[in-house]
Every structure is written in structure tokens, then in C-alpha cells.
Amino acid sequence: AQSVTQLGSHVSVSEGALVLLRCNYSSSVPPYLFWYVQYPNQGLQLLLKYTSAATLVKGINGFEAEFKKSETSFHLTKPSAHMSDAAEYFCAVKISAGKSTFGDGTTLTVKP
Amino acid sequence: NAGVTQTPKFQVLKTGQSMTLQCAQDMNHNSMYWYRQDPGMGLRLIYYSASEGTTDKGEVPNGYNVSRLNKREFSLRLESAAPSQTSVYFCASRPSGGVYEQYFGPGTRLTVT
């Protein structure tokens, strides 16, 4: 069965530093993978998705993620953190035609 | 285009009371979902509707019922609320075809005392 594991429930970076949020997946078939962001007191919104077209996926707000089959990873990165990036981030994988399963989330704190 | 809307935004219930959480989407999506979000546990699927007139249980359906009233609306009912149902509830929708990402509402924060 497909699943995702997010490594690190909390990540703290300084403004301007690299952001790296880790996600590993388990899937017996080529996966569809997603990163969502949740700002305080809001619903989730899609940051980016991997659908096998390209291994490096660019999303909104300067985020990108690289699909690495050999490492079963789909880590989210941003070269330079902004204060506005403080949020909770969820990795997800499609598990059936209609459903996805979500990781437990990583809270990103950005220090001035 | 409002996307996915949920009402109410906040609710406090006493144990044993009932209530219905409302969700509507104006994007003509076929699939709709109800999730609950608890600290450190990500999102867990309660119920899912692939299309009008169909519903399926998700990971944590006990204590809940749903109604897919029409293509736009998908409601979640708690018949007899329990403190374990204190959570933030999110509704989501997804278009048909080869699109698998979901579009989320702003959530309902429910406290059961």
C-alpha cells in the first residue's frame, strides 16, 4: 500500500536560509506525489505535484521538489526562506483513483 | 468563484448533542471528501463521495454520517458528539479525469465538551 513519511515534525530556519522538508514514500507503482501548504487557520492548498512528467517539479512561491526513485524521496526545497513561508507542510501520495493519503505534517518556523 | 466553502467556522457542542457540518463547492467537481485534522496526525479521511449519490467510508468513519445532497453539497453529521470528536474538520473536492490534487475548504473547528 502506498504511504508517505515526513521526517521531522518541526523545522526551524533563519530568514534567507535554505528550506529543506523531507518526505519519503512507499509505493508499489509509479506514484503521484503532492506537497500541500497550510497557513494558520486556513485549509490546505497545493504547492506542487509530481506526475512522472519530470523529476524536478517547480511549484508556487519559489518551492520545488525532486523525485528520486532510488531514494524513494520527494523532498521540498526553497533556496531562501521568507517570513511568509512559516506554515505547516504536508506531503501526500495518491493511493487510489479517488483518494490520497497524507503525511503527519512538518511545521516550518522562520526566524528573523 | 468561492471554491470550497464550509459552515460553521467554529462550533462548541456538549457531549451527546448532534450537528451537521455543511460543505459546498462551485467548481463542478465530482469527488468530495471529509477529513479530520488532529495535532501530529495529519489528515485522516472520514468519508468520501466519488459522485452524486455515492459515498464510501474512509479511515475513521465511526460516529459520523454523510449525505451527498447534490453535486455541489456534501454534509457531515455527528449524531451524538463525543469529546474524541474534538478536531478541525476539512472538506475537499477534486475534479474528475486525471487530476488527483484536492481543493480544500477553510475548515470547521469543533470542540466537544
What is the average pLDDT value for chain B, to the nearest integer?
Answer: 95
The angle at the Cα of A38, spanning A98 to A27, to the nearest 5 degrees, equals 40
Q: What percent of chain B has pLDDT over 70?
A: 100
Q: What is the reported pLDDT for A53?
A: 77
Q: What CA–CA distance (Å, rounded) separates B91 from B103? A: 8
CB contact under 8 A, A94 and B100: yes
Q: What percent of chain A has pLDDT over 70?
A: 100
Model confidence pLDDT, tens digit, residues A31-79: 899 999 999 989 999 999 998 878 999 999 999 999 999 999 999 999 9
Q: What CA–CA distance (Å, rounded) separates A61 from A23? A: 19
CB contact under 8 A, B107 and A90: no
Most confident of A86-90, A94-98, B50-54: A86-90
Query: Which residue of chain B is at minimal alpha-carbon distance from A95?
Result: B100
B69 contact partners, CB below 8 Å, separation of at least 6 = B75
> Is it the case that residue B30 has pLDDT exceeding 90?
yes
Up-side HSE of residue A102: CA atoms within 13 Å toward CB?
Answer: 25
Q: Which among A42, A46, A90 is the nearest to B106, CB-wise?
A: A42
CB contact under 8 A, B41 and A104: yes
Query: Which residue of chain B is at minimal alpha-carbon distance from A103?
Result: B42
> Is it the case that residue A17 has pLDDT exceeding 90?
yes
> Is it the case that residue A27 has pLDDT exceeding 80?
yes
Q: What is the reported pLDDT for A98?
A: 83
Cβ(A51)–Cβ(A93) below 8 Å = no
CA distance to B64, B76, B93, B102, per residue, from A46 (Å): 27, 24, 13, 8
Tell whether A105 is within 8 A of chain B (Cβ).
Answer: yes
CB pairs under 8 A between A and B: 49
Tell whether B10 is within 8 A of chain A (Cβ).
Answer: no
Cβ(B43)–Cβ(A6) below 8 Å = no
